[in-house]
Amino acid sequence: MKLSKKTTSMWSKKRIGIDGTPLWLPLITHLTDTKNVISWLYENWLSDGQRQILKRSTPYGTYSHSEQDIEKLISFVGFFHDIGKATPAFQKKTVSSRDEYIDKNIMERLMESGFSEINKKELSNSRDSPHGTAGEALLEYWEVPVSVGAIIGGHHGLPLSETPSGQISRYTDNYFQSETHPEIAASWKQTQREILDYGLELVGYSSVKEIPDVSQPQAVILEGLLIMADWLASSERLTNASEKELFPLVSLDTSYDEIDTDSRFDRAIGNWNLSDKWIPQKISSQDNPYKSRWGFEARPVQTAVTHAIAKTDDPGIIIIEAPTGVGKTEIALIAAEQLATIRGEDGVFIGLPTQATANAMFDRVDDWLEKVAKSQDERLSIKLMHGKARFNRHYQKIPDATNVEVPNTKAPSVTVNGWFSGKKSILTKFSVGTIDNLLLMGLKQKHLFLKHLGLSGKIVIIDEAHAIDIFMSQYLHVVISWLGAYHVPIVVLSATLPNENRNSLIEAYLKGKYGSSHPKGFKAPDRWQSTEAYPLLSILDGKELRQVTKFEGHSDQKPYTLQIQKINPTDEKLIQMVLTQISEGGIAGIIVNTVKRAQALARLIPKGVDMMIVHAAFLSPAREAQEEKLQRTTGKNAHRPKKMIVIGTQVLEQSLDIDFDILYTDIAPMDLIIQRAGRLHRHHIKRPKALQTPQVFIMGINGPGDYGKANELIYQRYLLMKTDYFLGDKINIPQDVSKLVQAVYSKTNDNEISGMIGINESLTGFKTYLKTEAAKAEAYQVTPPDYFGDLHGWLNQAQNDVDKNEQLAKAAVRDIKQTVEVIMIQHTNKGDFLIPVNPDEQPQSIQTVSSKTIAKQLIRIPSSITPKVNRVIDVLAVQTHRYYPDWRNDVWLKGALVLRLDNNLSASLEGWRLHYSTKFGLSYSKEGDYEN
């Protein structure tokens, strides 16, 4: 079909080039580029599992599509995504006042092609018809299905609240230029209809009546794919720093007919597609994949999980509850290979509770991925996803995919592709990050579709699931329901879970996949909802839940007993007790619930005693050095000192591989007590004679139902009371683990402890807390999958700040009070200096180090100091711009805020006095008070 001059004269993009050359891109060219890209992505980038979701009917038998149906629909949304630009409201837009030449030239071209008087009449309401809305309105006008039109209306990341019915009649001039001149309006209608007919013919439709409806989950994936394709087709270069061209604009004197869209597409995809598609190899149940991947024989739990997954036909959610030391990470990675083969997925996402645990996991995943890639002669891409990923040394060493095309050299097996950055990061096929990157899939946020697109084609692994608190679990449940709708296999790893938590995860998956938490035909073992077996494997295969409770064969972790003692000494007596315990040698761990308490205890350690303090209130380089030293001195195959005390907060209870000879811990809920105890006697090593028996001392129990204000602010008093009640003088590992956890979280045994003073009030408070947390989360949470719904109103929200700042979004799904992360430096009369990691190091002038090194000096200001966070940001921004104006133009320091400390490493901020110690970290107090 030959296009008219009017159609080919319309523009999609225009700007002045760096060298002053006016550039443009015809609208039809961009529509064709995007159509070509999205079709290629569907064929070559989507996983087989994602393609099946787009074809599969819903649980109710609706919206089933053939391969040909989907291919046409994919091409249709790609080509018509910017049809709203074929309107006067868009074509009259100007670049800027200083670029009048390009606007004038294009306007003259439009008039010469037949759009008469377009330069004369101003449109008073053009902003009321942005091109996304206009595109959906035109499709509605042409009677395209509403569910498809909503995808066009939302392709800039935010669907309309409702169909744009009445848009064209209300703003006729925006669509047809003139209400009062029928011949002018007819010219626009004719051109728009020409594009419609051309596009339909191009994608293989003879009429809009052939365009199918889609379910809401299918629409979410299609929207994500369209956004990705549009961004790719709008990328002129691979990255800002790259010379590789993708879809550049052309000089203004180049006409549409002179652009070869096929060769343009081939070159762009060749430059962009720098990774291979992972084609996982089937693992036979007779194989020992652990031997080939890591060189050791599979352990009983590992073997059981591998065999159980091999027997599944339609794997869904898999929950593995087992003690430390059974190799859950290796289980998850082998499971990912198995599940990807069965379900047709081609990537993996692993979510962990903290940046530290994500860093540790990233090293292991990268090693695994390199073995996988080399064994299959593939090049695969990986991403580390958390706020400080760019400073991770291991991650920095991974080659950039754009720089590995060196002649006569073997390309690396694992690379990083710079195009996948920012909101596109989750699209990287293999990614390791903090759990909030998964939970964000449930938060109403612009461009949320990209997160759904990225995760719907991966095996999802959730590590340390017991660390997910009540608020976060509200987001986790809705996320799991969406993953269920996409038939994505999920592997959940935990030391143990309360039955209610385990059951709710399984039910959320079933509800997302089948529309019901207990669909017709659901099969499960008797008492599956109340089992106290441990270790425990729960595996959902279609509508059947199977549980493995017995693991045959030799176990490398023999049953053992933890000796429990409840103590309530003063801080001074506690330190004396610890010193006595390790007098003949040993490493004592002290895990407390607040930074303030950790600092207070650390200050009591006598000089000459080897001590480490680990918490979040250190500068990032110091945190990194602490974690490395901790692993080096207390981890597997460590060079252990003869005697040392390690004091830390909850960061020590996560999956860092550390090993204490004796443990002291503040009171916490039972599952966290057991998790902390997992740092005790972790490895089979020789221990001091006095510390042969694993001993845990529980602190902070002032009396029946009294656990101190600080502890009760962090953990619900009801859970602490039940933990106190059920925690005896020993714990048999593993047989007591699940029994004790279930006892604390069960609602059926409250009458058993009714005699405890204050239990009824605590229970009432706990119920109120649960309702409050659920209500807070629900306010900005996406709804579960609606198979009969479309995208309209799906992201209606009031929390607009999360669209502007990814860190605020992550804080939203963790229910973290807003605070500020700053670069902390020392200002003296001799200049400005970096604060050393260790007390014996000499400070470096910021004039002698790179901006990247300065950017690493990050620390988070405590939320107590920032109740008026925007005011604090303003104060620090003024200070930053005053003293470091060049930072705003630096790639590493742009947008950073500085907090300058004086000679004594102190500063005042909004009525607070802050002090930093290289030994103890950041402390703070009200001005005039003693230091916190």
What mean pLDDT, rounded, does the chain reach?
91
Sequence-distant (6+) residues with CB within 8 A of 331 are 301, 302, 305, 306, 320, 491, 493
CA atoms lying within 13 Å on the CB side of residue 909 = 33
Report residue 408's pLDDT band, with 50, 70 and 90 as the boundaries: very low
DSSP code for 412: P
pLDDT of residue 711: 95
Q: Which residues of 9-47 are buried (b: 16+ CB within 10 A; e: fewer)?
A: bbbbbbbbeeeeebbbbbbbbbbbbbbbbbbbbbeebbb
Spans of all domains in the chain: 13-272, 289-386+424-548, 560-746, 817-926
Using one digit for the tens of pLDDT, what is the confidence trace for 324-368?
Answer: 778 899 999 999 999 999 999 999 999 999 888 899 899 999 999
The amino acid that residue 652 corresponds to is L
Is the pLDDT at 409 greater than 70? The verdict is: no
Which of 917, 227, 81, 769 is closest to 469 using CA atoms? 769
Predicted local confidence at residue 880, as pLDDT: 95
Average pLDDT over residues 435-439: 94
pLDDT per residue as tens digits for the range 657-674: 789 999 999 999 999 999
Long-range CB contact pairs, 848-852, < 8 A, 24+? 850/892, 851/887, 851/890, 851/891, 851/892, 851/893, 852/892
Query: Of 544, 562, 598, whose CA–CA distance to 923 is shortest?
Result: 598
- Rounded to an integer, what distance in angstroms lies between the CA atom of residue 84 and that of residue 131? 4
Residue 135 or 178, more confident: 135
pLDDT of residue 220: 98
**Burial of 135 (C-beta count, 10 Å sphere; 0-12/13-18/19+):** buried
**Does 410 have pLDDT greater than 60?**
no
The pLDDT, as a whole number, for residue 803 is: 67
- Which of 160-174, 349-363, 787-801 has the least mean pLDDT? 787-801
Contact status, residue 239 vs residue 43, Cβ threshold 8 Å: no
CATH for 289-386+424-548 (3.40.710.10, 3.40.50.300, 3.50.50.60, 3.40.50.150): 3.40.50.300
Q: Are 513 and 485 in contact (CB under 8 A)?
A: yes
* Res 234: pLDDT: 97
- Split at pLDDT 50, 70, 90, the class of 800 is low
* Tens-digit pLDDT profile for residues 710-726: 999 999 999 999 999 99
Q: Which CATH number fits domain 560-746: 3.40.50.2300, 3.20.80.10, 3.40.50.300, 3.40.50.720?
A: 3.40.50.300
The label of the residue with tokens 């260790």 reads 838
Residue-level pLDDT at 179: 80
Percentage of residues in the chain having pLDDT higher than 70: 96
Does 406 have pLDDT greater than 50?
Answer: no
Instruction: Judge whether residue 556 has pLDDT over 60.
Output: no
- What is the three-class DSSP state of 384? strand
Q: For residues 593 and 713, give the distance between their C-alpha atoms in angstroms, rounded to a whole number.
A: 10
3-state DSSP call for residue 667? coil
Lowest mean pLDDT among 117-131, 238-252, 296-310, 758-772: 117-131
The whole-number pLDDT of residue 169 equals 93
Rounded to 5 degrees, what angle do the CA atoms 472, 473, 475 make? 70
pLDDT of 492 strictly over 90 = yes
Beta bridge partners of 493: 320
pTM exceeding the 0.85 threshold for the entire prediction: yes
Domains 13-272 and 560-746 alike in fold: no
Q: Give the per-residue pLDDT at 557.
A: 63
Amino acid at 70: I
Residue 825 burial (C-beta neighbours within 10 Å; 0-12, 13-18, 19+): buried
The predicted structure's pLDDT at residue 791: 97
| 35-39, 219-223, 781-785, 839-843, range with the lowest pLDDT | 839-843
| pLDDT, tens digit (0-9, with 9 covering 90-100), for 84-141 | 999 999 999 987 656 778 988 999 999 999 998 888 777 878 899 999 999 999 999 9
Q: What average pLDDT does the segment 388-400 reach?
A: 88
Structure confidence at residue 71 (pLDDT): 97
Residue 554 confidence (pLDDT) above 50:
no
Give the pLDDT score at 411.
64
pLDDT at 407: 45
Q: Is the pLDDT confidence value at 22 over 60?
A: yes
- Kindly state the tokens that stand for 667: 């009171």
Mean pLDDT of 452-476: 93
Q: 13-272: what fold?
A: Hypothetical protein af1432 (1.10.3210)
Of the listed ranges 147-151, 654-658, 687-691, 872-876, the least confidently predicted one is: 654-658
CA atoms of 809 and 822, how far apart (whole Å): 18
519 pLDDT exceeds 80?
A: yes
